[in-house]
Structure 1
Amino acid sequence: MENCPEQQPLFTFGVIADVQYADLDDGYNFTRTRRRYYRTSLQLLKNAVKSWREAAVKPDFILQLGDIIDGFNKSHDASDRALNTVLTEFSSGPAEVHHVWGNHEFYNFSRSALLRSRLNSALNSNRTVNAAPADSDIYAYSFSPVPGFSFIILDGYDVGLLGREESSQKYKDALSLIRQHNHNTDLNCPVFKGLEERYTMFNGGFSKVQLDWLDSVLSSADEKQERVTIVGHLPVHPRSTTPICLAWNYDELLSIIRSHSSVVCFMAGHDHDGGYHRDIKGGVHHLTLEGVIETPPDSNAFATVSVYEDRMELRGCGRVRDRVFRFQQDEGSIINAVTDLQIS
């Protein structure tokens, strides 16, 4: 019997999170319990780009899930230099990069500066994008790599303190919101009350304008019967991360996701340990990718995802494990299942 030919993916893409590069010796997180490899994170990025560049099937695009450089660059007057270093590495890869903004982007740059920078992929993409309302300063957009599939990049700090002028109304509104839950002098210090931990300065949320835009984009995707993957820095399902890494109003965004049949996956960074949960309400896969910054130099932390009509196969490298995300076929079918996939 002849062997059946191997099924070819419709497209592939790479994904990497929390590089947090800085030309500094190793350090620790804010509680000094976790080692961070600031300088050698660049080598792990190089490893990822080399793998994508030399792959037999090269990725069509790369998702960079935020925190591309570390906040310590700001105090060393090295923000521009560090960003140029990592973007140079990305530019040597085989495909364009779609950048998500995390808290460390805002430690280094103002929102207005980011909107003008090379990290604004909506402006710099070669693809046609559907951006958030032009009269807002929200960094959110969607694009379609092939017919029937689309990706949505979200702005997890649209509501927040980071990157905002302290004199602005948006800053004042965010400060009022966080103060309702966090009464610490240092707002980077959480209140340890379950899900209330998420109300810290290094997290943020989504405005009504952004949520309404997302709802509209997903309604259109539902009508077209598209498969949609949503991408952001902050996780939005409590079981895909620790509470301290959740978006402030994750519940509002989760409600919108659950109301649309088109969404198949939500990808996030921020939680360097990574995480995964399949939401029983709709079967959406919530993946939190392990962060490069806390990955030892002798390992790796990136993935390549192959997309088929009925599933996405994620091939992890180093700390990132292999997974298969199956798509829900119809309203009456069993909800999506995730299966560990051993790929030789």
Structure 2
Amino acid sequence: MDRCSLPTPLFTFGVIADIQYADIDDGYNYTQTRRRYYRSSLQLLKNAQRSWSKSAVKPQFILQLGDIIDGFNKVHDTSERALDTVLREFNSSPVKVHHVWGNHEFYNFNRSALLHSRLDSRLHADGSPSGAPARADIYAYQFSPFPGFTFVVLDAYDVSLLGREESSEQYRNAMNVIKLHNNNDDLNCPPVSESLKQRFTMFNGGFSKDQLDWLDCVLSSADEKQERVTIVSHLPVHPNSTDPVCLAWNFNELLAILRSHSSVVCYMAGHAHDGGYCLDKDTGVHYLTLDGVIETPPNSDAYGTVSVYTDRMVLEGYGRVMNRVFMFS
């Protein structure tokens, strides 16, 4: 079916990732190989907001897939000011924004601060008992924008060295996980080993058993109701959708859960600024890694609008983001 022949969508939503705004001059990534456009990332967000506000069918919500401001803000003591600047732009329209947490959120704020911040979007969660995990320190929730469709926001740094007090049990447990595979003095340096083990770095994290058990229950309920479920998080979980160094620590455990449920149709992530995509042909689940704003030149763009139909989702990409069609199996 040609896109022009598609009927009016059931609903649409916007998606953007890795804005990483900071009021500093352009710089480079950790390995000094990729240029980063810290100031102009705000203009690219404005471009996206302008496009969404002028759409014939207005997006019902926006998915912000993490790393909303850059870690350099912490160094310059400008974290709150940078966050104010970016959120002011998001607040320029009345559309709800679902914020995902990435590593740069934790470079700027600890977990306790984030759980009481404007980046806590759980007020948009479903009011049902299963709307969020029982553990209050896990930033995960579900919401339903339209009957028959559910979205689940996952906390990819639930198990992590980032955002946790060094004296905490959670920090010690995460250190035990990473040290099994990474013996470098600098834990942001990937281990020299098989490619998939390169994910065991400090800028990644994983999903706790409590969160995975909750997700399993959410998806079981969606299976029974024959709903379509889209899952969003900061870290990619399919090896064919990203560079191995960007994968979640226990991506295989999450994949096993997704593959055991018929309701899952798509998983969206950020983190890997070059983007990526793959289709799991055994399950029909689409894995999208969205291109990052921060490494997008000022004369381009990096965002998308997704139109949802009964049998598919259609991503209209702008700039570096490719157009894609996600058929429901």
TM norm structure 1: 0.92
In the TM superposition, residue 191 of structure 1 has moved relative to its aligned partner by 1.1
Match of 2:254 in 1: 253
1:191: which partner in 2? 191
Matched to 2:261, the amino acid is H
1:53–1:94 Cα contact (<8 Å) kept: no
Distance 1:183 1:281 in 2: 36
CA contact (8 A) 1:50 1:93 kept: no
1:5 is displaced (CA, Å) by: 7.7
Q: What is the rounded CA distance, in whole Å, between the counterparts of 1:126 and 1:184 in structure 2? A: 40
Deviation string, structure 1 residues 138-176 (Cα, Å, up to 9, x no partner): 000000001000100000000000000000000001001
CA distance in 1, matches of 2:246, 2:145: 29
- The equivalences for 1:33-72 within 5 A come to 33-72=33-72
Say what the alpha-carbon RMSD is for the aligned residues: 1.3
Q: Is 1:78 the equivalent of 2:72?
A: no
Equivalent residue letter for 1:192 = V
The answer as to 2:132 corresponding to 1:135 is no
For 1:325, the aligned partner's letter is: F
Query: Aligned-pair distance for 1:6?
Result: 5.3
Distance in 1 (alpha carbons) for counterparts of 2:224 and 2:272:
34
| Partner Cα separation in structure 2 for residue 216 and residue 135 of structure 1 | 15
Q: Report how far residue 128 of structure 1 moved.
A: 4.3
What residue identity is the alignment partner of 1:31? T
Q: Counterpart in 2 of 1:293?
A: 294
Q: Is the 8 A contact 2:125 2:141 kept in 1?
A: no
Secondary structure (helix, strand or coil) at the match of 1:116 reads: coil
Partner of 1:31: 31
Deviation at 1:192, TM superposition (A): 3.2
State how far apart, in whole Å, the 2-side matches of 1:203 and 1:38 are. 21
- Partner-residue secondary structure (3-state), 1:107: helix
- Alpha carbons 1:106, 1:162 under 8 Å: kept: yes
AA aligned to 2:66 is G
> Relative to structure 2, which stretch is displaced further, 278-287 or 165-174?
278-287
Identity between Structure 1 and Structure 2 (%): 71
**What is the aligned partner in structure 1 of residue 270 from structure 2?**
269
Larger deviation, residues 145-154 vs 128-137: 128-137
Say if 2:204 is the partner of 1:203.
Answer: yes
Query: Could you tell me which amino acid in structure 2 is paired with residue 227 of structure 1?
Result: R
Q: Which runs of 4+ in 1 moved over 6 A?
A: none
Asked if 1 retains the 8 angstrom alpha-carbon contact of 2:296 and 2:320, the reply is yes
CA displacement at 1:283 relative to structure 2? 1.2
| Matched length | 324
Equivalent position of 1:313 in the other structure: 314
Higher mean alpha-carbon deviation, 39-48 vs 130-139, is at 130-139
SS where residue 176 of structure 2 aligns?
helix
Aligned letter for 2:250?
N
Q: Matches of 2:135 and 2:304 in 1, distance apart? A: 35
- The equivalent residue for 2:156 is 156
How far apart in 2 are the matches of 1:247 and 1:191?
A: 15
1:17 aligns with 2:17: yes
Q: Distance in 2 between matches of 1:135 and 1:98?
A: 20
> Separation in 2 of the partners of 1:9 and 1:263?
20
Aligned to 1:324: 325
Letter in 1 for 2:58: K
Q: Structure 1 counterpart of 2:160, which letter? A: G
8 Å CA contact 2:126, 2:142 repeated in 1: no
CA contact (8 A) 1:190 1:244 kept: yes
CA distance in 1, matches of 2:122, 2:61: 14
Q: How does 1:81-120 map to 2 (within 5 A)?
A: 81-120=81-120
